[in-house]
Amino acid sequence: MKLHYYPDTDSLYVELKTEPGVETREVADGLNVDLDVKGEVVGFDIDHAAERFDLAVLETEKLPVRAYKAG
């Protein structure tokens, strides 16, 4: 799983799988879900992310993380 933040568009993309998305569905205003060829979720995009959420802190609970990379 990867989190991608794009400050120029204030967009946060949560990549769940590396497979390419072939279809995007807007499920709520400013929330788009990308689906692969099987219809499974590969990621989602949140518009105006910094306006909606505090992006300064990232917390996890009981997540079995094997590696952490900051970039």
CA–CA separation, 14 and 27 (whole Å): 15
Place 66 in a pLDDT band, splitting at 50, 70 and 90.
confident
Domain that holds residue 36: 2-52
Please tell me the predicted confidence (pLDDT) of residue 68: 82
Residue-wise pLDDT for 9-29, tens only, equals 999 999 999 999 999 999 999
Comparing 49 with 67, the larger pLDDT belongs to 49
C-alpha–C-alpha distance, residues 41 and 31, integer Å: 13
Question: Residue 42 falls within a domain, yes or no?
Answer: yes
Answer yes or no: is 65 within a domain.
Answer: no
In a domain, 67, yes or no: no
Interval 40-61: pLDDT, tens: 999 999 999 999 999 999 888 9
Rounded to 10 degrees, the C-alpha dihedral 63/14/50/9 comes to: 160
Predicted TM-score of the model (pTM) = 0.88
